[in-house]
Amino acid sequence: MTTAVQAHTALRTANPVSGSVLTAPPPVLTLTFVEPASLTALTLVNASGQRQLAFTPVGSALTFSSRRPPLVRGRNEIRWRALSRDGHVIEGSIIIVLRAPAR
Amino acid sequence: MFEALSSAVRAIAYASALTGAGSVITLASLRYDSSTGAAQLTRVIRLSGLVLAGATLIAAALFLVRLGGLDDEAARTALIGSPLGAAFALQLFGGLTLAAAAGPLVRQLCAAAILLSFGVVGHAATQGIVSSAAVVLHVSAAAWWLGGLLVLLRASIVMDRKAFASLTMRFSQQAMWIVGLLIAAGATTAALLLQFRFDPAQRYTQMLMVKGGILIVLLGLAGINKLGLAPRIAMSEMAFAWIRRTIQAEIGLVAAALVATAWLTTCYSPHTSGEVLHRQHEQPQVDGPISIIDPWAPAMFPGSQTAAGYLVIVNRQGVEDRLLSASSPWAEQVTLHATPSKGGISKMNELTHLAIPPGKRVALAPGVYHLMFSGLYAPFVEGDDVPISLRFAKAGTVNVTLKVRRFADYAKSHQHQQ
């Protein structure tokens, strides 16, 4: 199953990139796909639970953004799901770590 | 589970689309005399239309559920506005009209709509107009073939042997051209999809080769029919009995090709493939004076305070180099440790540096050396990418990404090697 999901993963980049460690939540989170796709779900999973994030635009696009994602200290997983141009459900996740500001 | 269900529904949709549309076009191309048993074929066409419409609705529902739910606004908007939605619409209305239609012209229009839907969405359609046209031609030729076989099978029951022999001859004359078209269009589609790179290690290519294999057996049977059996039908009862059996076998093989296609288009993509995972074990992630192979970290157990990282360092320089330190934004501190095992007891020693002789490789592996992460800001979870910087005395800073995997997977692959 892992390979099948990977096979259709078409995320070109995320900002902040997956694996980033930040000291404050980013003002905006963007996902950029390799080909136009329709983002249908953006879910934030972290220590305070699981919640849907609002995003723009709705419909087919290359880049989607979500303003002020409520990230918390520690590990934040942002799961995305989209319909690709060639008619597949594609999904994946990016990880952003939030730490205390440097002492 | 979802993928198996999706590809099963897709196989049913393919089979009903090709049976319905294919029967319609072969009845026309073979100038089938509608007075002989055509009512049965009409029932088959209607049923195919109904099954196609049903399978399309189920497929659309499965897509919606996977995208976020049946009542999810974003999922519905995405589906309706996409080429996939257009293809579903063509199949749904084509199928329903086929189920209800009486006149041959309306039926032929439905068949055209259903066959065109294959060029609207999918890997081939995304690549441009040529591969889109090629895939429609390929599917149409396959539909004609399947429809022709079904019509022949039916005709072998209702027709006398002489009429059946002449129908078979007509079929095999047309089949020469149409099967040629099927192969040419299929090869064109495959070449465009794989961008003229033939890599048998790719799953997508392997599945295409399975389809090629089925086609070769199918061509063998068709050759036996055309050259050995068809010319003797009028005279020999045995040839007649045998040709019925080979037609049934051919229909079975077409069904196998459809299932393979449904599995292929649901689960695999020509663009990227699973073997990326496979290869990264031996291919350097970073290549240069210092090359790094397979940087990874085991997923942490709940409650652990520290994490480990492993990788293979290759020194491609003519002189000795030394790993001086490591750092990662994920941890306050990364240190280098040796794990010597004395009398069965593992002890950890912190190292100030690690020497890499010229032209040699040193593996940081469980039980030997490891990087230790302490003061972690977040735990390592399977699937994470953890960036680290390695500082070498000569080569300078080398940045790599540790792939977090389950330790059990390492233990398993390590056992296999020994």
pLDDT-based confidence at A103, cuts 50/70/90? Answer: low
Q: Do B82 and A95 touch (CB under 8 A)?
A: no
Q: Do A7 and B122 touch (CB under 8 A)?
A: no
pLDDT at residue A7 is higher than 50? no
Indicate the range of A4-13, A73-82, B56-65, B238-247 predicted with least confidence.
A4-13
pLDDT at residue A29 is higher than 90? yes
> Most confidently modeled of B79-83, B139-143, B340-344?
B139-143
Q: How far is A93 from chain B (nearest CA, A)?
A: 9
Question: B195-212: per-residue pLDDT in tens?
Answer: 888 888 788 888 899 999
- What is the arithmetic mean of pLDDT over B391-401? 93
pLDDT-based confidence at B34, cuts 50/70/90? Answer: low
C-alpha A36/C-alpha A22 separation (Å) is 29
Q: How far is A80 from chain B (nearest CA, A)?
A: 10
B83 closest CB neighbour out of A1, A87, A99: A87
Question: What integer pLDDT is reported at residue A40 of this predicted model?
Answer: 93
User: What one-character-per-residue DSSP string does B259-280 give?
Assistant: HHHHHHHHH--SSS-THHHHHT
Q: How does the average pLDDT of chain A come out, rounded?
A: 86
Q: Report the percent of chain B where pLDDT is more than 70.
A: 93
Question: What integer pLDDT is reported at residue B351 of this predicted model?
Answer: 86
**Residues across chain A:** 103
Is the distance from CB of B234 to CB of B161 less than 8 angstroms? Answer: yes
Q: For B382-398, b where at least 16 C-beta lie within 10 A, e where not — what string?
A: ebbebbbebebeebeeb
Q: What are phi and psi of A61, to 5 degrees?
A: -160, 170
C-alpha B187/C-alpha B101 separation (Å) is 35
Q: How does the average pLDDT of chain B come out, rounded?
A: 87
Q: Do A38 and B83 touch (CB under 8 A)?
A: no
C-alpha B371/C-alpha B131 separation (Å) is 50
Q: Given phi > 0 = left and psi -120 to 50 = alpha, else beta, which region is B328?
A: beta
Q: How far is A82 from chain B (nearest CA, A)?
A: 7
Distance of CA B164 to the CA centre of its chain: 40
Per-domain boundaries in chain B:
2-267, 290-417
Is the distance from CB of B25 to CB of B98 less than 8 angstroms? Answer: no
pLDDT-based confidence at B278, cuts 50/70/90? Answer: very low
pLDDT at residue B416 is higher than 70? no
Question: What integer pLDDT is reported at residue B147 of this predicted model?
Answer: 94
Q: Please list every residue in chain A whose beta carbon sits closer than 8 Å to the beta carbon of residue B383.
A: 93
- Note whether ipTM > 0.85 here: no
HEC readout, B94-152 = HHHHHHHCCCHHHHHHHHHHHHHHCCCCCHHHHCCHHHHHHHHHHHHHHHHHHHHHHHH
Among B330, B376, B380, B381, pick the best mutation site for testing chain A contact (most A Cβ within 10 A).
Answer: B330
pLDDT at residue B148 is higher than 90? yes
How many interchain CB pairs under 8 A, A with B?
111
Q: Please list every residue in chain B whose beta carbon sits closer than 8 Å to the beta carbon of residue A89.
A: 63, 66-67
Question: What integer pLDDT is reported at residue B340 of this predicted model?
Answer: 63
| Report field, pTM of the whole predicted structure over 0.90 | no
Q: Do A6 and B125 touch (CB under 8 A)?
A: no
B84 closest CB neighbour out of A19, A39, A87: A87
Is the distance from CB of B329 to CB of B391 less than 8 angstroms? Answer: no
Question: What integer pLDDT is reported at residue B347 of this predicted model?
Answer: 61
Q: Which of the pair, A80 or B72, is modelled with greater confidence?
A: A80
Other CB atoms within 10 A of residue B324 CB: 13
pLDDT-based confidence at B296, cuts 50/70/90? Answer: very high
- What is the arithmetic mean of pLDDT over A52-68? 93
pLDDT-based confidence at B119, cuts 50/70/90? Answer: very high
- Of B402, B411, B412, nearest to B382 (Cα)? B402
pLDDT at residue B36 is higher than 80? no
Q: How far is B66 from chain A (nearest CA, A)?
A: 7
Question: What integer pLDDT is reported at residue B171 of this predicted model?
Answer: 92
Residue B184 token pair: 């040419």
Question: What integer pLDDT is reported at residue B150 of this predicted model?
Answer: 93
Q: Report the percent of chain A where pLDDT is more than 70.
A: 89
Question: B213-222: per-residue pLDDT in tens?
Answer: 999 999 999 9
Question: What integer pLDDT is reported at residue B341 of this predicted model?
Answer: 56
Q: Which residue has the tokens 């009542």?
A: B71
Among B327, B377, B385, pick the best mutation site for testing chain A contact (most A Cβ within 10 A).
Answer: B377
At a CB cut-off of 8 Å and minimum separation 6, what does B255 contact? B15
- What is the arithmetic mean of pLDDT over B339-363? 78
Q: Which residue has the tokens 């690690």?
A: B354
Indicate the range of B31-45, B140-154, B163-177 predicted with least confidence.
B31-45
Q: Do B273 and A7 touch (CB under 8 A)?
A: yes
Among B2, B84, B266, B405, pick the best mutation site for testing chain A contact (most A Cβ within 10 A).
Answer: B84
pLDDT-based confidence at B279, cuts 50/70/90? Answer: very low
Q: Please list every residue in chain B whose beta carbon sits closer than 8 Å to the beta carbon of residue A59.
A: 77-78, 81
* Chain A (11-70) residues lying within 8 Å, Cβ to Cβ, of chain B: 18-21, 35, 38-41, 58-60
- Judge whether B88 is closer than 8 Å to chain A, CB to CB: no
pLDDT-based confidence at B47, cuts 50/70/90? Answer: very high
Among B5, B6, B67, B399, pick the best mutation site for testing chain A contact (most A Cβ within 10 A).
Answer: B67
B401 closest CB neighbour out of A2, A3, A19: A19
Q: Do A40 and B3 touch (CB under 8 A)?
A: no
Among A33, A86, A97, pick the best mutation site for testing chain B contact (most B Cβ within 10 A).
Answer: A86
Indicate the range of B31-45, B283-297, B360-374 predicted with least confidence.
B31-45
Is the distance from CB of B349 to CB of B338 less than 8 angstroms? Answer: yes
Question: What integer pLDDT is reported at residue B286 of this predicted model?
Answer: 80
Q: Report the percent of chain B where pLDDT is more than 90.
A: 51
Question: Which residue of chain B has the CA closest to A60?
Answer: B78
A81 closest CB neighbour out of B68, B122, B203: B68
C-alpha B2/C-alpha B233 separation (Å) is 47
Can you identify the CATH homologous superfamily of domain B290-417?
PCu(A)C copper chaperone (2.60.40.1890)
Question: What integer pLDDT is reported at residue B217 of this predicted model?
Answer: 95
C-alpha B326/C-alpha B310 separation (Å) is 12
Is the distance from CB of B386 to CB of B401 less than 8 angstroms? Answer: yes
Question: What integer pLDDT is reported at residue B133 of this predicted model?
Answer: 94
Over its C-alpha atoms, chain B yields an Rg (Å, rounded) of: 30
- What is the arithmetic mean of pLDDT over B78-88? 90
> Most confidently modeled of B61-75, B138-152, B343-357?
B138-152
Question: Which residue of chain B has the CA closest to A100?
Answer: B377
Is the distance from CB of B152 to CB of B247 less than 8 angstroms? Answer: yes
